[in-house]
Amino acid sequence: MTVKEIIKILSKKVKKKIKDFILDEYGGNLVEYALLIGFALFIFFLLVSIVLSMMDWTAGQSSEFFEVVEGLDD
């Protein structure tokens, strides 16, 4: 047996195992849950970034307001 034949046999076995895992009821559910968790994390970080940008905007507006109020005293 040559090295090429061994690699070919191993690659066929690995491909078959991956195919069986994905087509299996439990493997399909695992992939589906992983995709759902990834999508949920994406939405979570998107919402966090929106909230943080809103907080940054309000902090900037409040500092500008206090600068205007301090300018009225002059």
Q: How far apart are CA 34 and CA 36, in angstroms?
A: 5
Q: Which of 13, 14, 30 is nearest to 22 (CA)?
A: 30
Amino acid at 53: S
The alpha carbon torsion through 57, 62, 63, 64 (nearest 10 deg) reads 90
**Domain boundaries, given as residue ranges, for the chain:** 3-72
Q: Is the pLDDT of residue 73 over 80?
A: no
| Contact present, 22 and 31 (Cβ < 8 Å) | yes
Can you give the pLDDT at residue 72? 81
For the segment 4-11, the average pLDDT, to the nearest whole number, is 90
pLDDT in tens, 18-58: 888 777 777 667 878 889 999 999 999 999 999 999 999 99
- The pLDDT value given to residue 49: 96
